[in-house]
Amino acid sequence: MNTTHNVIAAALFGVALAAGCANMGGETVGQSARDSEITAKVKAKFVADSTVSALDIKVDTYKGTVQLSGYAKNVDEITRANDIAWHTEGVKLVRNDIHLQ
């Protein structure tokens, strides 16, 4: 009987934890998944582009807004990273905080 109560308690705790995490920061699970997908697409485009260093530029996405940060070798790299992010499906806004090294 004690084991049954422990299993039920653990299951309820897991459900409560999942529900709490799903609403952290006011973002739904679906939105979080879309943001992760956007981030992955932008990073993949950076890897495929010879102008942009995928290792030196960080990409974060929140509710369709992409935040670029890190360091670039020149202005062309900053401009190209910004253009790539803007031309990625699902992006609503790009905040470019990339600095020259």
Residue pLDDT, tens place only, 35-50: 999 999 999 999 999 9
Band of residue 57 on the pLDDT scale cut at 50, 70, 90? very high
Task: Say if CB 68 and CB 59 are below 8 A apart.
Answer: yes
**Distance between CA 13 and CA 90 in Å, rounded?**
34
Task: Say if CB 90 and CB 62 are below 8 A apart.
Answer: no
Q: Is residue 23 part of a domain?
A: no
| 14/57: higher pLDDT | 57
Residue (of 42, 33, 36, 31) closest to 69 by Cα position: 42
- Identify the domain containing residue 81 by its residue range: 28-100
Q: What is the mean predicted confidence (pLDDT) over 75-99? A: 98
Q: What is the mean predicted confidence (pLDDT) over 20-29? A: 63
Write down the pLDDT at residue 8. 54
| CATH for 88 | 3.30.1340
The domain total for the chain is: 1
Q: Is residue 6 part of a domain?
A: no
